[in-house]
Structure 1
């Protein structure tokens, strides 16, 4: 599905964390979420979920006002410093999917 530059962008990400790094990653994600709330007006939703049966399995759901807001998130210092530099090195798997909002209930 093609999306326009004004379409709300939804991001779904699944991560697998190296065992022993779960608490560290959650601490860093709390810092990232706080920075997103404070510094990214184009972010609409930013949630982090932990699989109750497997603490190494995380799911993130995010919404951005448009493609520019998502790009601003990716380019932000907090994303680069917290996620790219500190979290990604301790992941064993990282899947990220992007969707354009088609309908709401």
Structure 2
């Protein structure tokens, strides 16, 4: 069964360009992963510094491999997360 991740991120407007760049680099890496089916990065047009990510993987193991990648540690854990003022992540099975 496919596995999805929906993440809502918010950062200060001053950090928006840094977060955006890191998320776009992350997208480029993620789309090459064998377990990845989709990785979409969205900005909220009404809230500066707000992002929505939609990720889809073949299964939970595909996501776990994604989260274990060195570029995940560098770009998400090391760059994006420290700049966030809000973060909500939902894990879901695709019906």
Does TM, normalized by the shorter one, top 0.5?
Answer: yes
Instruction: Report whether the alignment pairs 1:68 with 2:61.
Output: yes
Q: Say what the alpha-carbon RMSD is for the aligned residues.
A: 0.8
Aligned counterparts of 2:89 and 2:48: Cα–Cα separation in 1? 19
Instruction: Report whether the alignment pairs 1:34 with 2:28.
Output: yes
Task: Check whether the contact 2:31–2:38 (CA below 8 A) recurs between aligned residues.
Answer: no
Structure 2 residue corresponding to 1:43, chosen from 36, 43, 46: 36
Aligned counterparts of 1:71 and 1:92: Cα–Cα separation in 2? 25
Q: What TM-score comes out, normalization by structure 2 length?
A: 0.95
Q: Show structure 2 runs of 5+ residues with no match.
A: none
**How many residues are paired up?**
95
Query: Offset of 1:55 from its aligned partner?
Result: 2.2
Aligned counterparts of 1:75 and 1:18: Cα–Cα separation in 2? 27
Aligned counterparts of 2:51 and 2:21: Cα–Cα separation in 1? 13
The higher radius of gyration belongs to 1
Structure 2 residue corresponding to 1:13, chosen from 7, 12, 35: 7
